[in-house]
Amino acid sequence: MLYDTIQKVGANKGIFISTSSFQQGAMDYAKTHGITLLQIVDGFVMIYKIHYHQKVG
């Protein structure tokens, strides 16, 4: 759903914030679609650093 919204508004990236951890499938999907995953744990933000190749032109 987030990726559809990213495309619909013409954005290049998206951010998904959760208080739970992310499953590997979600991390793979985020990597493929340029979505940053943030997890909040006890008031601290954990950023899942996901490297992906962005198409140019």
Q: Do 3 and 14 meet the contact criterion of CB atoms below 8 Å apart?
A: yes
Residue 56 confidence (pLDDT) above 60: no
Q: Where are the alpha helices (DSSP H) in 1-57?
A: 2-9, 24-33
| Rounded distance between C-alpha atoms, residue 51 and residue 1, angstroms | 21
pLDDT score for 55: 40
pLDDT score for 48: 62
DSSP 8-state secondary structure symbol assigned to residue 29: H
Residue 52 confidence (pLDDT) above 70: no
Phi-psi sector, 20: left (phi>0), alpha (psi -120 to 50), beta: beta
pLDDT in tens, 3-47: 787 778 887 778 888 888 889 998 888 888 888 888 888 877 776
pTM of the prediction? 0.64
